[in-house]
Amino acid sequence: MRAILAFLYYLVVFGIMIIAGIPYTLYCGLRGHWEDCTKICTFAFRNIIFKLFRIKVSVEGAENIPKEKGYVIVANHQSFLDINVIWHSITPAAFMAKASLWKAPVFGWVLNRTGSIPIHKNPRMNAGLGKRLQERFDQNYNITVFPEGHRSEDGHMFKFQNGIFRLAKEQHFSILPVTFINTGKILPKVKWAIYSGEVKMVIHPLIRYEDYAEKPMAELRDETHDLIESVMPYKQAELAAAKAAENATESAATENKEA
């Protein structure tokens, strides 16, 4: 039954993309505002798809969403659902994603029209990436990046790759850190299934260039990773266990002194 529901979820998503998304994208293009084309995604997920599949999104830190455009959302990655939640709750956004996705019929065309940027396995083919990213900002796009490189199967975060943070040091853009919680449970990577329920998204304060201008790239990368990871349930449990152990050690030391 869950497999059938998952099939229906993808069918509805891609059906809306074909029936409504492509015409709306062409309409935005004729008006000269390609950057607005993913607004149809925001409408579809907020008003149709998530309600149909009983997926609730809880947002913490919505006040941190910038009013201006031209920033990069940096997030952990558990599920295909992550992209859908961004469209639902933050902003119409383009993506930096693996180039193989551009080979998919229709979908590749949509990725181009939404301003998304392909990332190739061969580093030489990524030459000029910073220039392309700046062009997207100039065209009023926001960009989303998942620096882990691939989806986590158990929800535990991988180390972040360097790419987007190296570009940040070169291009001086703002970074909006975002944490996804439970998206991998609702629409898991490891099996063909979908579940109703609640996903949580934590939007952290915007990191502006002046906040990291003096920091080495590796420090920016690791601090952003640790901030995003800090609200994950497993990390919270680790911190609570460490605090309990510290308190127990202090209590034992106090008792020994009193003895």
Report pLDDT digits (tens) over 16-59: 988 998 899 889 888 888 888 888 989 999 999 999 999 999 99
pLDDT at 205 over 70: yes
Whether 58 maps to a domain, the answer reads yes
- 10 Å CB burial of residue 3 (0-12, 13-18, 19+) is exposed
Q: In this structure, are residues 180 and 148 in contact, taking their beta carbons and an 8 Å threshold?
A: no
Domain enclosing residue 20, as ranges: 2-251
Task: Please count the structural domains in the chain.
Answer: 1
168 in any annotated domain: yes
Q: Is 138 exposed, middle or buried (0-12, 13-18, 19+ CB in 10 A)?
A: exposed
19 falls within a domain: yes
> What is the pTM (predicted TM-score) of this model?
0.90
Give Dmax over CA atoms of the chain in angstroms. Answer: 82
**Taking residues 225-237, what's their average pLDDT?**
96
The CA-to-CA distance between both ends of the chain, in Å, stands at 63
Q: How confident is the model at residue 239, as a pLDDT?
A: 87
144's enclosing H/E stretch is strand 143-145
Q: Examine residue 50 and state whether it is found in any structural domain, yes or no.
A: yes
Question: Contact, 234 vs 155, CB < 8 A?
Answer: yes
Query: Do 113 and 92 contact (CB within 8 A), yes or no?
Result: no
- The answer to whether position 258 is within a domain reads no
- Residue 258's pLDDT is 65
User: Could you tell me which residues come within 8 angstroms of residue 18 by beta carbon, excluding any fewer than 6 positions away?
Assistant: 106
Answer whether 173's CB lies under 8 Å from 137's CB.
yes
Q: CATH number of the domain that 38 lies in?
A: 3.40.1130
More reliable by pLDDT, 105 or 80 = 80
Q: How far is CA 31 from CA 20, 25, 87, 140, 202, in A?
A: 17, 10, 21, 14, 34
Task: Say if 18 falls within a structural domain.
Answer: yes
Whether 185 maps to a domain, the answer reads yes
Is residue 257 in some structural domain?
Answer: no
Tokens of 81: 């659902």
Would you call 244 exposed, middle or buried from its count of C-beta atoms within 10 A (0-12, 13-18, 19+)?
A: exposed
As to burial, measured by CB atoms within 10 angstroms (0-12 exposed, 13-18 middle, 19+ buried), residue 254 is exposed
